[in-house]
Amino acid sequence: MNPPQTTTAALLAVLLMLPAGLASARVKLITLPVRDRVEIRLDHDQATLVEEERTVPLVAGTNQVDFSWANTQINAATLVFRVLDDDGQEMTGDDAPVKVLSVTYPPGENALVWQVSSARATSARVRISYLLGGLTRGFSYRARVSHDEQRLTLSQYVNIRNFAGEAYGDTQISIGLGDAEGGIVKPLGLNESKQVRTQRFTDLPVTKTYTADFHRFGYLDAGEKKLRVPMHYRLSNTAGAGLGQSALPKGKVRIFQEDSAGPDATTAFLGEDVAAHTPVGRHADLFVGVAQDVVVRRTVEKQDDRRIAGNLMERRVTLKYVVENFKDTPVTLRLAEQIDALRRELGRHSGQTASWSLGQATTLPGQPIFDETDAGRVTFEAPLAARTGDTPEAATFFLEIVFENQW
């Protein structure tokens, strides 16, 4: 272990076996005990835990152990001092040969002093833990998609930024994402930013999706009622899809596509997206542009109100979608509606929670997508045949939503 690069955090042993006039003075040793081991835990977004171990010489009786720092973002209220036995476990109990008696905070200083008693002169292994500000981590990814857009390689990186005012030598860094044994071992220099690849997943199945959702994505051409149709690469964070070991944290993704098949293929840069935090069992959607060859026109076909009793109304809204696929391959289009946004669009939002169901005029195939349909939205999948001539055949779908007990 190399000695620390700065002296902003110093652990000093001060002996109280001194003449009476000096017994209460803080006499500092010249040689600083080096860190034997450092572990930094970056598995929490709001707090960074540092644990360092040092070997401190003690005399028989009471010792004063001084920990001081300057220009370092240590949270003094979180400092904990523990004496370890030969197995690395904390010494506890009244019969422990070395134990902590008390802690004091010298006024006006970034320091504290532990009173430590030792049954004999020895060198004690101690562990000091604290929360540290200014040392943070973020995540980023590199996605490489096959030429046929069927498979994907995903590399995950952790980006560590050390602006805590302290440097660390070889440090065990845990990021809390199913870390390999020992975690990452890297030095962290003062005011240094570092990127480390943590995981690489190959040959992942990927699906390219096309989604029309007027209230989320708006129009591509408002005059012709053409909807904007974003394209995404969808990854499932499940064991069956080659992932599922841990959540995928939020992070920027740089997306590339192979320009041909085979091991010698080069790649073309498609763009960047910010992937949302993706728990195990959920999917991540990576934006790769807006489709120009899948055209969706959406209109409000019909609105009917029927009085039930008093001011209570049943309102039926029928939406019409005319869809054209100009691609020479089949496409599965996702059609979605946001319920409250639809009511506001129609001027029918009263602040009342929507109670709704699908009407019989709905012609979209199959059932709504289970995990993308709830009280606030409905999503269908519509398969579109490949274009066979110069002009594709338009497909027409209807979605009827019945708002119940409205006023």
| pLDDT tens digits along 231-288 | 999 999 999 999 999 999 999 999 999 998 777 889 999 999 999 999 999 999 999 9
pLDDT of 24 higher than 60: no
Among the ranges given (2-11, 98-107, 134-143, 162-171), the one the predictor scored with the smallest mean pLDDT: 2-11
296 is written with which tokens?
Answer: 């969706």
Q: Provide the pLDDT for residue 207.
A: 95
- Secondary structure of the chain as H, E, C letters: CCCCCCCCEEEEEEECCCCHHHCCCCCCCCCCCCEEEEEEECCCCCCEEEEEEEEEEECCEEEEEEEEECCCCECHHHCEEEEECCCCCECCCCCCCEEEEEEECCCCCCEEEEEEEECCCEEEEEEEEEEECCEEEEEEEEEEECCCCCEEEEEEEEEEEECCCCCEEEEEEECCCCCCCCCEEEEECCCEEEEEEEEEEEEEECEEEEEEEHHHHCEEECCCCEECCEEEEEEECCHHHCCCCCCECCEEEEEEEECCCCCCCCEEEEEEEEECCECCCCEEEEEEEECCCEEEEEEEEEEEEEEEECCEEEEEEEEEEEEEECCCCCEEEEEEEEHHHHHHHCCCCCCCCCCEEECCCCCCCCCCCHHHCECCEEEEEEEECCCCCCCCCCEEEEEEEEEEEEC
Which pLDDT value is given to residue 11? 42
Q: How many residues does the chain have?
A: 407
Cβ pair 269, 256 in contact under 8 A: yes
pLDDT at 30 over 80: no
| pLDDT grade for 26, boundaries at 50, 70 and 90 | very low
**pLDDT tens digits, one per residue of 176-229:** 776 655 578 899 999 999 999 999 999 999 999 999 999 999 999 999 999 999
Q: What is the mean pLDDT of residues 283-304?
A: 96
Give residue for tokens 């070991």. 245
Domain 9-132 sits in CATH 3.30.160: no
- pLDDT tens track for 351-399: 777 789 999 999 999 999 998 999 999 999 999 999 988 888 899 999 9
How far is 391 from 199, CA to CA, in rounded Å?
46
Q: How far is CA 324 from CA 33, 205, 319, in A?
A: 73, 27, 17
With a cut of 70, say whether residue 19 has pLDDT above it. no
* The pLDDT value given to residue 323: 97
Interatomic CA distance for residues 318 and 155, integer angstroms:
45
Share of the chain above pLDDT 70, in %: 90
> For all residues of the chain together, what is the average pLDDT?
88
pLDDT confidence band for 33 (50 / 70 / 90) = confident
Cite the residue boundaries of each domain of the chain with CATH code 2.60.40.
9-132
Reported as a pLDDT band with limits 50, 70 and 90, residue 331 is very high
